[in-house]
Structure 1
Amino acid sequence: MSNVRQIRDKTPDSEKITINLGYVDLGRIDLLVQEGFYSNRSDFIRTAIRNQLDTHGEAVTRSIERHTLELGLRDYGRADLEAVRDAGEILHIKVVGLARIGADVTPDLALRTIGSITVLGALQASPDIKKALADRIR
């Protein structure tokens, strides 16, 4: 009997982005970090982004409602897509946040049930699913 167990990969709860800053702005951020206002550059940038999102919170909410987007994490598993298929419907996924298509979903099932995918944030799906739906992902 083996005592080796497969551990599921942990799904990251954030997405890495890259930005370019001028030297003066970067120096000012470093000064605030040095003075103890922030623990590091990333802490400053995350705080600045959250503050801007809070400032525009009402506009974001109105836009989400206008575009009928789902906000947050949305999982689509095999059972979900089979129910859509059995109802003779086509799913149009619109998410602000993270949309995940489960590992139990086959490319064929995805093609039969997903008409379009619009994700403002991140889409997590197997490479096969992404390849099958490439022309439906916006």
Structure 2
Amino acid sequence: MSNIRHLRDKTPESEKITINLGYVDLGRIDLLVQEGFYSNRSDFIRTAIRNHLDSHADVVTKSVERHTMELGLRDYSRTDLEALRDAGEVLHVKVVGLARIDPDVSPELALQTIGSITVLGALQASNEVKKALADRIR
């Protein structure tokens, strides 16, 4: 039984990163953009990263399975967390991608229900929730 849920068909949001490239590599990218292979530098870089990640898809899948992580976008609502609290359960968030804790989740509710957070990608939550869970975020 696999615990992987593929949710990355559409990317509603993205995370901005900064990279340093040598002048020659940058020039080669600009040449491909100029020749119409890519619409801009970002398009080239996104395509290159996706192609490289696809070449390692098996390794990523096995690692996700080994670490029992969810792959893609995972939302945690106030209703979800209240149900966990009422059941006396503690959540250990493990996500490869984007984990979002809804804005209406209070720091108190988050502290009552979230035991740990491990996100390889990005975590979106209110500043108050992030501050309350700071010692639980890895």
Q: TM-score, normalised by structure 2?
A: 0.89
TM-superposition CA deviations, 1:48-83 (whole Å, max 9, x none): 001001100010000110000001111111111111
SS at match of 2:103: coil
Corresponding residue for 1:108?
108
For the residue of structure 1 that corresponds to 2:74, the secondary structure is: strand
Query: Identity of aligned pairs, percent?
Result: 83
| 1:108 Cα deviation after fit | 0.4
SS of the residue corresponding to residue 13 of structure 1 reads coil
Corresponding residue number in structure 2 for 1:4:
none
- 1:29-44 to 2 correspondences below 5 Å: 29-44=29-44
Shift of 1:127: 0.5
Give the structure 2 partner of residue 61 of structure 1. Answer: 61
Q: How does 1:90-129 map to 2 (within 5 A)?
A: 90-129=90-129
Q: Tell me the number of residue pairs that the alignment of Structure 1 and Structure 2 aligns.
A: 127
Q: 2:77 — aligned with what?
A: 77
Structure 2 Cα separation of the partners of residues 21 and 93 of structure 1: 34
| Partner Cα separation in structure 2 for residue 75 and residue 31 of structure 1 | 40
Matching residue's letter, 2:64: I
In 2, Cα distance between the equivalents of 1:75 and 1:35?
41
2:24 corresponds to: 24
Question: CA deviation digits over 1:30-51, x for unaligned, max 9?
Answer: 1111111111100110010010
TM-score by length of 1: 0.89
Q: Which of 1 and 2 has greater Rg? A: 1
Instruction: Find the aligned partners of 1:126 and 1:43 in 2 and give their Cα distance.
Output: 30
Q: Which ranges of structure 2 fall in alignment gaps of 5 or more residues?
A: 1-11
Instruction: Show structure 1 runs of 4+ deviating over 4 A.
Output: none
3-state SS of paired residue (1:49): helix
CA drift of 1:129 comes to 0.3
Partner in structure 2 of residue 133 of structure 1: 133
Q: Secondary structure at the match of 2:116?
A: strand
> The residue matched to 2:83 in structure 1 has which SS?
helix
Code of the aligned partner of 1:117: I
